[in-house]
Amino acid sequence: MNFQIHVHSTVADIGRDPWDACAAPSGDPFVAFDFLDACEASGSAVPQQGWAGRHLSLRDDTGKILGVMPLWLKGHSQGEYVFDHSWADAWERAGGRYYPKLLAAVPFTPVAGPRFLAHPDADAATVRQALMQGAIALTERLGVSSLHVNFPTRDDWEAMGEAGLLQRQDMQYVWRNEGYRTFDDFLAALSSSRRKTIRRERREARAGLDIRVLTGAGLTEAHWDAFFGFYMDTGARKWGRPYLTRDFFTRLGATMADRIALVMAFRDGEAIAGALNLIGRDALYGRQWGALEEVPFLHFELCYYQAIEFAISRGLSRVEAGAQGEHKIARGYLPAPVYSAHFIADPALRAPVARYLEGERPAVQAGIEGMTVERSPYRKGDR
């Protein structure tokens, strides 16, 4: 069969129905048309911010779309959570030009998921191979330094490694539901000292507060106004310039309300803190958090403990709490591998990066295994 690759500047150019015909089977909310369109249409991921869409569609000889791929021409490495700044600095000191580069990822979202999205009527491996080749060909045609595929599934990562892309591994922290019926069931799996600590943290965090989990029709623009204030305050202190616009949250609430769990803390009727989660088919994904008032342990309560309770109530298998933060281990979130793959056009840059990754991968894996054994809060034999 003959395939054609088309390049699109926005996901809207492809359209909701053909995009979601390929994306929806995964159950991943972040590759859904509505999430990516909210990033673009809100002005959050646009060329002016260094995110120029170069999304791929794969079509057969009748014009039917068999697969799609979220792809961006990036003018920087911000909002990616796979850090290649040292590669860029080294290459530019050597006289090369690292930016722009191509990136297959979800903007501002360090969540593993499919990057080669296949229509159910198509062979997934064939679609993946064709989209991968199309992305590499686009890299070469544009004359850019590199192609990066961030947070793919393990299967996609292994396939890209077999195709010659450089493989990178990192870690995140994941809570797994071992059939718990209640939060107390989860606590019973922990060591006695950790149970006592978590109960104390929850008591202190919730004292005098009304904590609610809002989803679906329970979400209002007033909630988004409050949450955006938290996000801007925390983001300005942490990153200097938050990525997402206020309109992004309105669009997310309008199109994906049933896939959102917004945890909000109120004092005397006034919202003081919040944590945004997205609901997948079998997982809850923690995203942004912010607070206008310093309350001991409130971050743990809203981002970790409330997420665990919600996942248990929905029968979800895991909570993915995002990048970084070894403090998550003590709250039951254990380290797990995440992946990226990299095509670097120039051998003069590719060779040293390949050597670096050869040493980094086993070190990361050893770190995962060491922390799991030495710092796990679970009773010996329970995890």
Mean model confidence pLDDT for the chain:
96
Q: Which CATH superfamily, name and number, covers 4-170+337-373?
A: Gcn5-related N-acetyltransferase (GNAT) (3.40.630.30)
The residue ranges of every structural domain in the chain are: 4-170+337-373, 178-316
Name the nearest CA neighbour of 152 among 114, 124, 119, 117: 114
For residues 64-88, average pLDDT? 96
> Which CATH code for domain 178-316?
3.40.630.30
Q: Please, are residues 229 and 290 in contact by the beta-carbon 8 Å criterion?
A: yes
pLDDT digits (tens, 9 = 90+) for 132-166: 999 999 999 999 999 999 999 999 999 999 999 99
pLDDT digits (tens, 9 = 90+) for 226-252: 999 999 987 666 555 789 999 999 999
Q: Do domains 4-170+337-373 and 178-316 have the same CATH topology?
A: yes
For residues 63-82, average pLDDT? 96
In sequence order, the 6+-apart residues with CB closer than 8 A to the CB of 305 are 183, 198, 201, 202, 331
pLDDT digits (tens, 9 = 90+) for 177-226: 999 999 999 999 999 999 999 999 999 999 999 999 999 999 999 999 99
pLDDT digits (tens, 9 = 90+) for 18-44: 999 999 999 999 999 999 999 999 999
Distances (CA, A) of 125 to 5, 9, 182, 269: 16, 25, 40, 53
pLDDT digits (tens, 9 = 90+) for 78-97: 999 999 999 999 999 999 99
Task: Give the chain's length.
Answer: 383
Cα(43)–Cα(38) distance, integer angstroms = 8
For residues 41-66, average pLDDT? 97
pLDDT band at 293 (very low <50, low <70, confident <90, very high): very high
Query: With 70 as the cut, is the pLDDT of residue 382 above it?
Result: no
Beta strands in the chain (DSSP E): 4-8, 51-53, 55-59, 65-69, 72-74, 101-104, 117-118, 146-150, 166-176, 210-214, 260-267, 270-279, 283-291, 318-323, 334-344
